[in-house]
Amino acid sequence: MTATDTLPVFSLHRGSLPFLISIPHLGTRIPADIAAQMTDAAARTDDCDWHLDRLYAFAKRMGASILAPTYARYVIDLNRPPDGANLYPGQDTTGLLPVDTFDKEPLYRDGRLPDDAEVARRRDAYWKPYHEALQGELARLTAQHGKVLLWEAHSIRSHVPRFFDGRLPDFNFGTSNGASAVAGLAEALAKVVEEHGGYTAVANGRFKGGYITRHYGQPEKNVHAVQLELSQITYMQEQMPYAYDDALAAKIEPLLAKLVKTALDRVAAA
């Protein structure tokens, strides 16, 4: 299925392991018809989860399936409920169709905010195809292996005052307070980081997992989901041009690989 400018909505690499990495905020493209309604701030796609496909290339080599969108979260946020409900009641967050950046810069020109019909159109054109692919790959892997690990790969700047005070921990693991995966998974992963040294970690802190983790993580049905919100300062330049830092990434990749193996082992033993 394609969007208004005819590019594929997502890419899906099918792997051999019981392991799917979803990177719902990797996309940077904004179709021309939507971009025409938006501000210059939107064109920067500041709030992209930059370079995660590159950082997780090791997982693709080891046999993971990887699902990633073409289009930016400013078009529609694939990690929000289809009805736009706030996943963190009482806390500030961005919605299904974000109207401002993490720094509260407006994304739309005056009088150009999407109406209900446009929300529905984008949900059909972008949100639904991604989630249909996600469901389909989880079903394939579960049928083949009996159980599956869904790893929600995210990243964010280390300082975003809108959402949290001070500097964010480097590794933020979320399992919806334990509901989306085998018991103790987030805590076990945080312990791996602490024992490795050099980085900070927290389990089910400010980021407990978005819609995908909460909706698809059903350990009673053999689908175990964990979200990692990785601080971008650990592997890239946090300001424009948002460059990948090979030296930093080389340090963190072995730890990511160990985390993945830990998660796969705990899911296999569940």
91 pLDDT above the threshold of 80: no
Other Cβ atoms less than 10 A from the Cβ of 142: the count is 16
Q: Read off the tokens for 180.
A: 């989306």
Q: What is the pLDDT of residue 241?
A: 94
62 pLDDT above the threshold of 60: yes
**Position 210, amino acid:** G
Q: What is the pLDDT of residue 177?
A: 96
Q: What is the pLDDT of residue 116?
A: 95
CA distances in angstroms from 15 to 21, 67, 93, listed in the order given:
10, 11, 33
Confidence category of residue 1, pLDDT binned at 50, 70, 90? very low
CA distances in angstroms from 123 to 2, 94, 214, 239, listed in the order given:
13, 16, 19, 30
**Position 108, amino acid:** Y
83 pLDDT above the threshold of 90: no
Residues 86-103, buried b or exposed e (16+ Cβ, 10 A)?
ebeeeeeebbbbbebbbe
182 pLDDT above the threshold of 90: yes
| Percent of the chain's residues with pLDDT above 70 | 97
115 pLDDT above the threshold of 60: yes
| Percent of the chain's residues with pLDDT above 90 | 90
259 pLDDT above the threshold of 60: yes
86 pLDDT above the threshold of 80: no
Q: What is the pLDDT of residues 163-174, one digit of tens each?
A: 888 999 999 999
Q: What is the pLDDT of residue 3?
A: 47
Distance CA 260, CA 265 (A): 9
Q: What is the pLDDT of residue 228?
A: 98
Domains of the chain: 10-269 (3.40.630.40)
Q: What is the pLDDT of residues 19-54, one digit of tens each?
A: 999 999 999 999 999 999 999 999 999 999 999 999
Q: What is the pLDDT of residues 223-241, one digit of tens each?
A: 999 999 999 999 999 999 9
